[in-house]
């Protein structure tokens, strides 16, 4: 049985819809950086109550990691970040190409990469078709 991480008290998606745009979602035949056909801009998912498990089970790192402050909220950072085992994946909003290279993000991403390295982990940043491994 899969156990979802706990949401940090007081956090919610609000009007953020980056997870409806940035990742590719095979179930919906949705490529990366394209809006999901079920997303209503600045509102959220039109099928939220009946959304599939792939959407229901997803939580970005900001929602589950209390160490990340408001600067890391996807609606502010313009990045959607999540863990996959020892890997941390960063999907950058195509409209903000260099945001991940600015502070406080850049230094933290490199700290995470250094911490993950002994276990074979890394941080991988996706912006449009560009991929950066830290």
**Chain segment 91-114, per-residue pLDDT in tens:** 999 999 999 999 999 999 999 999
Report the C-alpha gap between 59 and 50 in whole angstroms: 17
Tell me the pLDDT tens digit for each residue of 13-59.
888 899 999 999 999 999 999 999 999 977 889 998 999 999 999 99
Share of the chain above pLDDT 90, in %: 83
pLDDT at residue 14, as a whole number: 84
Share of the chain above pLDDT 70, in %: 97
User: Of 67, 85, 76, 68, which Cα lies nearest the Cα of 123?
Assistant: 85
Report the C-alpha gap between 81 and 62 in whole angstroms: 7
pLDDT at residue 1, as a whole number: 45
């Amino acid at each position: 049985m899969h156990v979802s991480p706990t949401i940090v008290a007081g956090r919610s998606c609000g009007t953020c819809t980056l997870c409806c745009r940035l990742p590719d979602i095979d179930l919906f035949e949705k490529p990366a950086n394209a809006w999901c056909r079920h997303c209503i801009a600045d509102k959220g998912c039109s099928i939220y109550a009946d959304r599939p498990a792939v959407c229901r089970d997803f939580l970005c790192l900001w929602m589950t990691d209390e160490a990340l402050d408001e600067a890391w909220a996807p609606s502010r950072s313009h990045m959607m970040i999540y863990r996959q085992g020892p890997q941390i994946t960063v999907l950058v909003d195509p409209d903000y190409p260099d945001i991940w290279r600015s502070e406080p993000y850049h230094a933290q991403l490199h700290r995470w990469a250094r911490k993950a390295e002994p276990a074979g982990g890394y941080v991988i940043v996706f912006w449009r078709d560009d991929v950066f491994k830290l």
